[in-house]
Structures are given as structure tokens and as C-alpha cells.
Amino acid sequence: MSAPLLAVNGLKKHFAVRGSRRGGAAGFVRAVDGVSFEIARGETLSLVGESGCGKSTVGRAVLRLSDITAGEILLDGQRIDDLSASEFRPLRRRMQVVFQDPFSSLNPRLRIKDTLAEPIRNFGLATSGADLRKAIAELLDTVRLPHDAMDRFPHEFSGGQRQRIGIARALAAKPDLIICDEAVSALDVSVKAQIVNLLQDLQRELGLALLFISHDLAIVEHMTHRVAVMYLGKIVETARKREIFASPKHPYTFALLSAVPVPEPGNTRTRIVLRGDVPSPINPPQGCRFNTRCPYAFDRCRAEEPQLRPLGEAQWAACHLHDLPAAENPLR
Ligand code: SF4
């Protein structure tokens, strides 16, 4: 079997918290605390969870925008987290990113053609000025923008058009993987749908893999193949889309899903309203990290941390409920 396009094994990213005037570390923010997943070519994996759960930190670590504390990251079977900057540079082309805010992620002083030309030049993907202009025109076609867009500045476009330009910039490097970090969160509902449809089309046309980072399960449902749910720096459930949405096995997944509107009138989901805020990742709760907000927590949850384990075909969850007799498990 060939190696997955991206493999992340036991990834940890801890940030020191300065606590005294002398600058000594008072503790660590355990933003990502042992996360593992794989993405195949042409596949979409969605990393979901509330703000502060560590999902964007995972994306930044994969892109090597920050150093990692522990674990390993492999692209096509090759470890990339321990490469020097010059060793990593040719591989960087293969992983691109689309950020949340299309207003701040484009340089306001650059015409669109210059924004798109930058990665093409940086990675040596055009050999002449004519080649470069042709590549830019093709990118605009790909993201369904007119060719006259190339001579305009970012402020002349709407939010959705700017996000199309952000996607074109990511595509300019001819990547295998695009990390979409809350890439549609700042957009209006109808524009969101257009950008999601565009990403799906591009994935089919170009065989791209996507790591889709989002807090919005309603959007994820339309476009993903698999989902990994994060809570306080850990993956608490992962499964194919069908299993996650039809039969979640972790109370946190269940709570997130219960807030997603059901499209068919008459169908309802039992609503679980999460109490309180996400606890501090400096001092996460003992036992199961979700026990302070879980409606089903029992004594064992406060003493022992549950591990991810298989609970059906291609579905894993970390929850002690699944050791109870079926009649006592509300998620069976
Ligand atoms: Fe809730 Fe306990 Fe399961 Fe954690 S292990 S999700 S606290 S039932």
C-alpha cells in the first residue's frame, strides 16, 4: 500500500507561559497534545472543534509555520518536521494554505497578477513572461474570475472574490494539499456555499487533498470525506462523514452536531447545550478533558483519560461510555 499523502503522528505543540518578572516559564499551553491522522491523495479531512481547541495550530505545524514540541509529520512517507529550511523548501510548494480572512491575507498594494506571480516565480514554474501571463490567466479561469481581474487591486473585489483570489494563489504553486484554515468562516452564507462548491470542483478536477479546518459542521457536512473532532488539543473522535453525522460516538461530537440545523422539516436532533467555556489548555481537567462539560460524566471520567479506540467501521472515539452495558450507554 502506498504511503498517505500526509501523515501526522503524535503531534504536540506546547507554548511556554511566562509567569514571573524574571521570565521563567510558569507553565505550558498544551495547544496540541498528541494528535495523529492521515490524509490520502484527493481526500478531504475536516478538523473541527470550538475556537481554541488547537485545530489551527495543527495546520500551522503541518505547514511548518511553527516548530513542534513532539511527534512527526510525513509528506508522501518522507519526514518533514526535522528538515532544515533549505531541505524543506522544495516540499513547501506541495502544501499551500487558504486563510480565513480574505481582506487581510492579500497584499493591498499588489495587483492580482503580482500576487499570483509571486509563487509561480518563487517555485520556478514559468520560464518566460508569456508563460507567466498564461499561467495567471489559467488560474483566474480555474477560480471562475474574469481575466481583467489581474490588473486590479484587492480592494476592488468582494469578500467572496478575494477568497477566490486566495485559492488561486494557493493553486499557483501546483500543490498536492491545501490547508483551508476557516477559509469560508468570514463569508456570507450564500458566498460560503459558492466557495465550498468551488473547492469541491477543484478537488475533483485537480485531485487535491484538503485539510479543512472549521468550527462549522454544517459546512463540513457538504464537502468532507472524513472528520476528526478536536477538543482541548486532542482528537476525541474520527470517522467517515456518514458515520459521524449518522451515529456520533463521543458526547462532544454529539453536542456539536445537535446545534446543526436539520434540512428536512419534521426531522429533529436532540439538542445538547454545552455548559461553560472550554477549560484552559494550561491546566486541562484530570481524566477526560471533556468531563467538566459532559452531560454524561461519571466517576471514572474524572480519574482516567479515555483513549481513542475503534468503535465500528472506520470510526474511533475516546469515551468511557462505550465500556458500559449497552442499555446504560446513551450513545449506542
Ligand atoms: Fe463524557 Fe466521560 Fe465520555 Fe468524557 S469519557 S466524554 S466525560 S462520558
- The whole-number pLDDT of residue 277 equals 82
- The whole-number pLDDT of residue 190 equals 87
The protein residue whose alpha carbon is closest to atom 5 in ligand 1 is 319
Q: How far apart are CA 236 and CA 311, in angstroms?
A: 12
In a domain, 193, yes or no: yes
10-residue averages of pLDDT along the chain (332 residues): 91 85 74 96 95 93 95 97 93 93 85 96 92 96 96 95 95 96 88 92 94 92 94 97 94 90 64 81 94 95 97 94 92 80
pTM across the whole model:
0.92
- The whole-number pLDDT of residue 206 equals 93
Q: Is 290 in the pocket of ligand 1 (CB under 6 A)?
A: yes
Number of separate domains in the chain: 1
In a domain, 14, yes or no: yes
| CATH number where 85 lies | 3.40.50.300
Burial class (CB in 10 A: 0-12, 13-18, 19+), 129: exposed
Tens of pLDDT, residue by residue over 162-175, are 999 999 999 999 99
- The whole-number pLDDT of residue 100 equals 85
In a domain, 140, yes or no: no
In a domain, 116, yes or no: no
In a domain, 245, yes or no: yes
Return the exposure string of 246-282: e unless at least 16 CB atoms fall within 10 Å of the residue's CB, then b. eebbbbbbbbbbbeeeeeeeeeeeeebebeeebbebe
> In this structure, which amino acid lies at residue 185?
S
Q: Which atom of ligand 1 is nearest to the CA of 236?
A: 6
Query: If you write DSSP's letter for every residue of 15-52 in order, what string do you get?
Result: EEEE-STT--EEEEEEEEEEEEEEE-TT-EEEEE-STT
- The whole-number pLDDT of residue 262 equals 66
Structural domain of 261: 6-94+175-328
In a domain, 126, yes or no: no
- The whole-number pLDDT of residue 268 equals 62
Rounded to the nearest whole angstrom, what is the distance from the C-alpha of residue 7 to the centroid of ligand 1?
A: 27
Q: Is 319 in the pocket of ligand 1 (CB under 6 A)?
A: yes
Contact 150, 116 (CB under 8 A): yes
In a domain, 138, yes or no: no
- The whole-number pLDDT of residue 264 equals 62
- Residue to mutate (ligand 1; options 302, 319, 331; most atoms within 8 A of CB): 319
Q: Is 321 in the pocket of ligand 1 (CB under 6 A)?
A: yes
In a domain, 100, yes or no: no
DSSP letter assigned to residue 206: H
Rounded to the nearest whole angstrom, what is the distance from the C-alpha of residue 289 to the centroid of ligand 1?
A: 8
